[in-house]
Amino acid sequence: MRIVLLGAPGSGKGTQSQRLVERVGIPQISTGDLLRAAVAKGTELGRQAKEAMDSGRLVEDSLVLGMIRERLGEPDARRGFILDGFPRNLAQAHALDRLLATLKQPLDAVVQLEVDSRELVRRISGRRSCADCGRVFNLLTSPPSGANAVCPKTGVPHRLVQRPDDNEATVTERLRVYDEKTHPLIDFYRARGLLQVIDAEGDVDDVTARLAQALHAPALRSPRRRPARKSAARAKGSRRKAAKKTRAARKPSRRAAAKVARPRRPAGAAARHGKAPRATRSARRRKGARR
């Protein structure tokens, strides 16, 4: 399954993506993680991206798409993927469509996570991420607990940090940019019949259940192919063959017809041919016994 998760900052895309990874077994592909990994590895794309970030410029869409192409070529992405944080605008959506068409990996679903703006501010202020593994938590809705309390990379509790832009002073501006740039994607994917919208407020488990239900909605299933219509001549020939088979089934065989038509030979006729009926021979034996 190939999925795009849409939603404003703080809508829970990261949390639900991680749950989908555990539930479906397909990788989460975050453009931010791809950029950081490419820079850390020192690849050519990473070097170009680092130059743009160091100079304060936005990373070009072509670089991001190149990283996504490389990531989709890895073995774990063959069964599907979850795109989190991309596309962010219509230009990126069109570019992604062309890339996936080239790779013959079209999207199966796009899910929009709807959350009230006041709830978004509350969530963003409580969001934290692990400095070592990058896993996202929320101190208010999904704090580290149980098996998730330990970082898989270090084996010790997560080192939680807050992003510089995850404070209330910058949230309003980020939401304005989202409405201006990213919100039009809803209409873009709705027109393609891919969009599912879910209520992403409330208990995290409830949101996960709604997401799972949306991904199995009838609109996301492959449409049934209708059988091709037969031509008039071909249909007429088929009817003739069926009628011929019916007549053959009703018509008795020659052997059965001969058996029905052959009359029973009378006893006198049997005697004339040198054979006596069984009843006559039995009577003679009884007569000899009396003598």
If we measure between CA atoms, which residue out of 16, 288, 4, 5 comes closest to residue 136?
A: 16
Confirm whether 127 is a catalytic residue: yes
- From residue 35, alpha-carbon distances to 8, 43, 226 in Å are 21, 10, 45
Catalytically annotated residue among 127, 128, 135, 210 = 127
Residues in Cβ contact with 115 at an 8 Å cutoff, skipping those fewer than 6 apart: 7, 8, 10, 11, 12, 123, 200, 201
Is residue 80 a contact partner of residue 1, using CB atoms and an 8 Å limit? yes
Return the beta strands (E) in the chain as ranges. Answer: 2-7, 28-30, 81-84, 109-114, 127-130, 136-138, 160-161, 195-199
Is residue 26 a contact partner of residue 1, using CB atoms and an 8 Å limit? yes
209, two tokens: 């259940």
Is residue 196 a contact partner of residue 217, using CB atoms and an 8 Å limit? yes
Q: Return d(Cα 265, Cα 279) in angstroms, integer.
A: 14
Confirm whether 13 is a catalytic residue: yes
Confirm whether 163 is a catalytic residue: yes
Q: b/e string for 20-48 if b means 16 or more Cβ within 10 A?
A: beeeeebbbbbbeebbeebbeeeeebbeb
Catalytically annotated residue among 2, 13, 128, 135 = 13
Q: Return d(Cα 219, Cα 214) in angstroms, integer.
A: 9
Catalytically annotated residue among 122, 174, 181, 190 = 174
Residues in Cβ contact with 272 at an 8 Å cutoff, skipping those fewer than 6 apart: none
Q: Which residues are catalytic?
A: 13, 88, 127, 163, 174
